[in-house]
Amino acid sequence: MEQSIYKGKKILIIGGTGTIGQHLTRMLLKEDPQVLRIFSRDEHKQYEMSLSFRSERERLRFLIGDIRDSDRLNRAMESIDYVFHCAAMKHVPACEYNPFEAVQTNVLGTQNVIQNAISNKVGKVLFISTDKAISPTNTYGATKLMAEKLISATELNKGDNSTIFAAVRFGNVMGSRGSVIPLFKKQIKDIGEITVTDSDMLRYMMTPTQAVKLILKANRLASGGEVFVLKMPLVRIGDLAVVMIEELAAQSASGTKIAIKQIGLRPGEKRFEELMTDDEVEYANETEDLYIIFSQYGRNDISKEAPGKKCLSKPVPQMENIISKEEIRAWLLQEELI
């Protein structure tokens, strides 16, 4: 059996108290690391997480800090082998109305991660991005695109430093804090009505388990500057709403039939998301479950040793990729999201 690359290693998860961070922590602990440092600015969530992982207190360290604070980040990275950068301002409306705050966290914060990883000679840094970075129409997407560019460009300007930087690009992670599933659940329970921007809106979605498996696979494959994208199925938002109503109607405070109210797009919101641009196809490979977009910087061709085969066309939303209501139901129950 192949030995884990994390066995005996020191790992830092930035934004580690979020949904992805906690799932990643749970899976990494199975790989027998020496220590896992959980870095975030949310002391209450750190307290709650410490209770959930009380049996692993010998290997977990909880560090209060903000990626805007470079000095604090530098201390957190001392002697670290692997960094997973999950921290972000990610709520679309919050970023729209507070754009420079999003810039400070998502862009300047990512640059702080890069600089301190280089200073501390970290082995690998994996940045968590989003499909909203593709042809962005909102501040959140634009800042994550900029952060992706910083990660990729570092491969060109890091000099003799051996730190490997790469990114993974997610769709919507089902059940993550601030996402649509917790919102629908609360609306069903409290007001007996679900609000959707558009029932026909399509979103690329993945479960937390799928997301973490992608992170670990990408980190294993990364050689520098890549963006890894999961081949995700599409979910029709109206179908998700219907399934959640069917499963949770008994919890409704109103005791009446639960309505679905369409309220229109929020500022900066897109009706359909994309996984990559037309230009990115030119320097991308694909495997059975991934697209691997290689860095444009200082690289004129794709190595023959890279995994997968040449990507021939841009993935586009297609009806056959929309999962059924029963598949949605199975995902929700399997991941204990409802």
More confident residue, 275 or 83: 83
79's tokens:
């002697």
**Model confidence band, residue 300 (pLDDT cutoffs 50, 70, 90):** very low
**Model confidence band, residue 304 (pLDDT cutoffs 50, 70, 90):** low
β-strand 284-286 against 290-293: which pairing, if any? Answer: antiparallel
The residue extents of the domains of the chain are 10-172+206-232+274-316
Instruction: Label residue 169 exposed, middle or buried (CB < 10 Å: 0-12, 13-18, 19+).
Output: buried
SS3 of the chain: helix, strand, coil, percent, to 5:
40, 20, 40
Instruction: Label residue 321 exposed, middle or buried (CB < 10 Å: 0-12, 13-18, 19+).
Output: middle
**Model confidence band, residue 299 (pLDDT cutoffs 50, 70, 90):** low
Question: Looking at 205-214, 251-260, 290-299, which range is the least confident one?
Answer: 251-260
In this predicted structure, the answer to whether residue 145 has a pLDDT above a threshold of 90 is yes
> What is the spatial distance between Cα 65 and Cα 51, in angstroms, rounded to a whole number?
19
Average pLDDT, rounded, for the chain: 88
Dihedral over Cα of 244, 246, 252, 258: its sign:
positive
Per-residue pLDDT of 196-207, as tens digits, reads 888 888 888 888
More confident residue, 190 or 80: 80
More confident residue, 177 or 186: 186
Predicted TM-score (pTM) of the model is: 0.89
The amino acid sitting at 305 is E
**Model confidence band, residue 44 (pLDDT cutoffs 50, 70, 90):** very high
Given this model, what pLDDT does residue 8 score? 96
φ/ψ of 61, rounded to 5, equals -125, 130
Given this model, what pLDDT does residue 1 score? 43
In this predicted structure, the answer to whether residue 139 has a pLDDT above a threshold of 90 is yes
Given this model, what pLDDT does residue 310 score? 86
Per-residue pLDDT of 311-333, as tens digits, reads 877 777 666 678 899 999 998 88
> What is the spatial distance between Cα 151 and Cα 145, in angstroms, rounded to a whole number?
10
In this predicted structure, the answer to whether residue 3 has a pLDDT above a threshold of 90 is no
List all residues 6 or more positions away from 119 whose beta carbon is below 8 Å from its beta carbon.
74, 77
Percent of the chain with pLDDT over 90: 52
> What is the spatial distance between Cα 286 and Cα 310, in angstroms, rounded to a whole number?
6
Highest mean pLDDT among 61-65, 134-138, 195-199: 61-65
**Domain 10-172+206-232+274-316 maps to which CATH number in 3.40.50.11060, 3.50.7.10, 3.40.50.2300, 3.40.50.720?**
3.40.50.720
> Which residue numbers are catalytic?
132
Per-residue pLDDT of 246-267, as tens digits, reads 888 766 655 568 888 888 877 7
Q: What is the mean pLDDT of residues 178-197?
A: 85
Given this model, what pLDDT does residue 83 score? 98
Task: Using alpha carbons, select from 51, 78, 272 the residue that is nearest to residue 171.
Answer: 272
Question: Looking at 21-30, 36-45, 212-221, 303-312, which range is the least confident one?
Answer: 303-312
Given this model, what pLDDT does residue 255 score? 57
In this predicted structure, the answer to whether residue 26 has a pLDDT above a threshold of 90 is yes
